[in-house]
Structure 1
Amino acid sequence: MSAASPPPPDLFHALTEPWRAGFEATRLALAFEDLVESAPPGDDHPVLVLPSYGTGDGGTTVLRRFLRRVGYRTPPSALGRNVDRGDLRIRRVEDAARFRSRQAERVLHRVRALADETGHAPSLVGWSMGGLLALDVSQHAPELVRSVVTLGSPFGDPRGTSMFHLMRRLSGSRVPVEEQDFSTWTERARLQTHAVPITVIHSNRDGIVGRAIARLAQAPCVRHVHVDSSHLGFAAHPEVYSEVAQALARTALTRAA
């Protein structure tokens, strides 16, 4: 039997996602040059930006351009659209966990290649599911990851998202919710190592990810930052860009100390 599920986001926030994200993107366009000028300078280490579920590197183009302008190397993630297909079609939470494991393995190979190529452990910035992949890789191979920044990632029970039941319908799932093992997903939020600094950027106005699943447990390596953003806007919000740049620079200062 599955445990009681966390509440999904407020319906108003879910329904207004596209409009709010459009407004946030407009604000970003107007503030972009000022953000670049005011951001702490980067140190040229590689930053791998991981896209959300169903999107690819195109969805993080502006964020990667911002980080390049600030002073980081931003190679493509090479994840494609980061979506399930074929034998990885998601019809129950256990399928989602397997898909997540497969994608995390692909990210791990990419991280190893970048470390070998540049001589530096990359930082991982992940939007939504991309943040979960970043977390998984940092826990599996902390020596290969300099830092992690997550943007609106659903760490807990996926029933705490506004998309859970919609995705069940779209996938044609006939598996009763009470017969699914949600621990295959939720237990990955339990940190196995505190070696990698993690910045969790979340929003109480996120229309996709509910508040109850948007944060990790308190730990010495975890820093939570709240922003006023839609979920779609995490990839195009001025405040988010500023916080990402500060998180990456903070890691550089810690290493230099």
Structure 2
Amino acid sequence: MYEPHQWYELGLLRSPGWVRLALEMRAGWEYGASLAATPLLSLAPRGDGHPVLVFPGLITGDLSTLPLRNYLSSRGYATYPWGLGINRGPRAGVIDACLERLDKLSQEHGRSLSLIGWSLGGLYARELAKARPDVVRQVITMGTPFTGHPKATNAWRIYEWATGHKIGAPDIHEPLRSPPPVPTTSIFSRSDGVVAWQCSLERESPHTDNIEVQASHLGMGLNPLTLYALADRLAQAEGDWRPFDRSGLRSYLYPDPRRPASY
């Protein structure tokens, strides 16, 4: 059994094709589906009021995560945007600013934060949790390419243009594969049209989990299945984290992420 980061070199993994990329246009429909599902989403577990910091994807900003943050606020959380404008990648000073914001919010609330990251934003969340595990309660990523090959996405050229960084340096990408030392959940979609879904598969361990949803990459943070999964994960008591329960009716909505892959 090969690891995801080997699939690209073996010719088993490529960035999503044109059909999946074209299906990214369904993102608007996913937002509409969430609005229609508001009565059902209101039945999701409520939280304990702890702070949640949300990081946007590449070339997007806090406006893209506003619906997600509004929903989590309605479930009782103190939600915060990353507050650094458009995400143009880990340029000089960005990580330091994120660490400063993380520490400030932790001090203000007197408790640890949950970190949520969409796509590239998930890499920020993971790396911040590695740097400050004492103030991070858990990490949840959505469509984040933390493993696999960095060119197994349809956004790597945009990343290079936006950041000025060249893709593929082992000293940069290899450390990203390791999960943070806190409970970590990866939400991914096999129909993702931007990131090869295998690049978002977390290695199994006592404090990691993968949740598969039927979603586009651009609409993942707006998708009702994602929103419910986020509410479920965040509602767990601190220190009592458990993997996502897919039993019962949930098994029809959330497939087993460990089922055989079709490349």
Structure 1 residue 234, shift from structure 2 partner: 1.1
Question: Shift of the alpha carbon at 1:166?
Answer: 5.5
* Structure 2 Cα separation of the partners of residues 54 and 128 of structure 1: 11
Q: Aligned partners of 2:118, 2:162: CA distance in 1, in Å?
A: 23
CA distance in 2, matches of 1:61, 1:138: 22
Kept in 1, the 8 Å contact 2:143–2:197? The answer is no
**Residue 212 of structure 1 corresponds to which residue in structure 2?**
198
Work out whether residues 58 and 159 of structure 2, in 8 Å CA contact, stay in contact via their aligned partners in 1.
no
Post-superposition CA distance 1:104-149 (Å, at most 9, x none):
3322111100011110111101111111100001111100101111
Any conservation in 1 of the 2:91–2:163 contact (CA below 8 Å)? no
- Structure 1: distance between partners of 2:162 and 2:69: 32
Tell whether the 8 Å contact from 1:100 to 1:133 is kept in structure 2 after alignment.
no
The alpha-carbon distance between structure 1 residues 159 and 144, as it changes in their structure 2 partners (threshold 3 A), is: same
Query: Among residues 91, 96, 104, which one is paired with 1:105 in the alignment?
Result: 96
Match of 1:93? none
Aligned to 1:164: 156
Measured in 2, the distance between the counterparts of 1:110 and 1:52 equals 18
Taking the TM superposition and a 5 Å limit, the aligned residue runs for 1:20-99 are 20-35=26-41, 37-84=42-89, 99=90
AA paired with 1:131? G
CA RMSD of aligned residues (A): 2.4
The CA deviation string for residues 177-207 of structure 1, in whole angstroms up to 9 with x for no partner, is: 7xx524412322223x53x101110110000
Gaps of 5+ in 1: 85-98
Percent of aligned pairs sharing the same letter: 33
TM-score (norm 1): 0.82
Distance 1:155 1:220 in 2: 19
Rounded to whole Å, the distance in 2 between the matches of 1:147 and 1:204 is: 24
After superposition, the Cα gap between the structure-2 partners of 1:102 and 1:222, relative to the gap in structure 1 and judged at 3 Å, is farther
Of residues 3, 15, 18, the one that matches 2:22 is: 15
User: The residue matched to 2:50 in structure 1 has which SS?
Assistant: coil
- For residues 208 and 42 of structure 1, do their structure 2 counterparts lie closer, same or farther at Cα, with a shift above 3 Å needed? same
Answering whether residue 231 of structure 2 is matched by residue 225 of structure 1, we say no
Matched, 1:254 2:240: yes
Shift of 1:167: 5.1
TM-superposed CA distance for 1:254, in Å, is 1.1
Q: What's the CA shift for 1:101?
A: 7.6
Taking the aligned partners of 1:200 and 1:160, their CA distance within structure 2 comes to: 17
1:187 aligns with 2:168: no
Q: Does 1:125 align with 2:132?
A: no
Match of residue 201 from structure 1: 187
Q: Which has the higher helix share?
A: 1
Q: Kindly indicate whether the alpha-carbon contact (under 8 Å) linking 1:150 and 1:201 is maintained by their aligned counterparts in 2.
A: yes
Question: Relative to structure 1, is the Cα distance of residues 24 and 217 closer, same or farther in structure 2, using a 3 angstrom cutoff?
Answer: same
Indicate the structure whose relative CO is greater, using CA pairs within 8 Å and at least 6 residues apart: 1
Compute the TM-score of the two structures, normalised by the length of structure 2.
Answer: 0.80
Residue 105 of structure 2 is matched in structure 1 by: 114
Q: Which runs of 5+ in 2 are unaligned?
A: 1-7, 242-263
Q: Give distance in 2, aligned partners of 1:186 and 1:80.
A: 28
Aligned to 2:146: 155
Aligned-pair CA distance for 1:53: 1.1
Residue in 1 that maps onto 2:255: none
